[in-house]
Structure 1
Amino acid sequence: MKLLRYGPVGRERPGLIDADGRIRDLSDYLADFAGASLGPASLARLSNLDPADLPLVEGQPRLGPCVGHVGKLICIGLNYSDHAAETGASVPSEPIVFLKATSAIVGPNDDLELPRGSTKTDWEVELGVVIGTPAKYVSEEDALDHVAGYCVVHDVSERAFQLERQGQWTKGKSCDTFGPIGPWLVTADEIADPQDLDLWLEVNGERRQTGSTRTMIFGVARLVSYLSQIMTLHPGDILSTGTPPGVGLGMTPPTFLQPGDVVRLGVEGLGVQCQTVIQG
Structure 2
Amino acid sequence: MSLVKRGTVYGTLMNFRGELDALGTQVNEPPYKAPPQAPVLYVKPANTWTENGGTIRVPAGTEVEVGATVAMVMKSPREVEGYVLMNDLRLPQDSFFRPPVRFNALDGFLGIGDRIRARNEAGDPAVFKLEVRINGELKQTVRFSQLVRPADKLLADVSEFMTLGEGDMLMLGCDVPRPRAKAGDRIDISMPALGTLSNLLVAESA
Structure exhibiting the larger radius of gyration computed from Cα positions: 1
* TM-score normalized with structure 2 length: 0.84
In the other structure, the counterpart of 1:211 is 142
Please state if 1:98 is matched with 2:69: no
* Partner residue, 2:51: 107
Residue type of the partner of 2:80? V
Q: Which amino acid aligns with 1:127?
A: V
Work out whether residues 125 and 153 of structure 1, in 8 Å CA contact, stay in contact via their aligned partners in 2. Answer: yes
Give the Cα–Cα distance (whole angstroms) in 2 for the partners of residues 190 and 234 of structure 1: 22
Task: Identify unmatched segments of 5+ residues in structure 1.
Answer: 5-31, 35-69, 136-145, 249-255
Residues in 2 aligned to 1:119 and 1:163: alpha-carbon distance in whole angstroms? 18
Root-mean-square deviation over aligned CA pairs: 2.4
Aligned residues: 196
- Scaled by the length of structure 1, the TM-score of the pair is 0.63
Query: What runs of 5+ residues in structure 2 fail to find an aligned partner?
Result: 28-34
Equivalent-residue separation in structure 2 for 1:79 and 1:176 (angstroms): 25
Q: What is the CA deviation profile of residues 235-259 of structure 1, one whole-angstrom value per residue up to 9, with x for unaligned ones?
A: 00000111123313xxxxxxx3221
In the alignment, which residue of structure 2 is the partner of 1:133? 76
Question: With CA pairs under 8 Å and 6+ residues apart, which has the higher RCO, 1 or 2?
Answer: 2
Q: Contact between 2:39 and 2:158, CA under 8 Å: does it hold in 1?
A: no
**Cα deviations across residues 11-66 of structure 1 (Å, max 9, x unaligned)?**
xxxxxxxxxxxxxxxxxxxxx711xxxxxxxxxxxxxxxxxxxxxxxxxxxxxxxx
Change (3 A) 1:246 1:163: closer
Counterpart Cα distance in 2 of 1:257 and 1:223: 29
Name the % identity.
20
After TM superposition, list the pairs within 5 Å mapping 1:1-280 onto structure 2: 3-4=1-2, 33-34=4-5, 70-86=6-22, 92-115=36-59, 119-135=62-78, 146-160=79-93, 163=95, 167-168=98-99, 170-248=101-179, 256-280=180-204
Q: Aligned partners of 1:106 and 1:171: how far apart in 2?
A: 17
Could you tell me how far 1:121 is from its partner in structure 2? 1.3
Who is 1:45 aligned against?
none
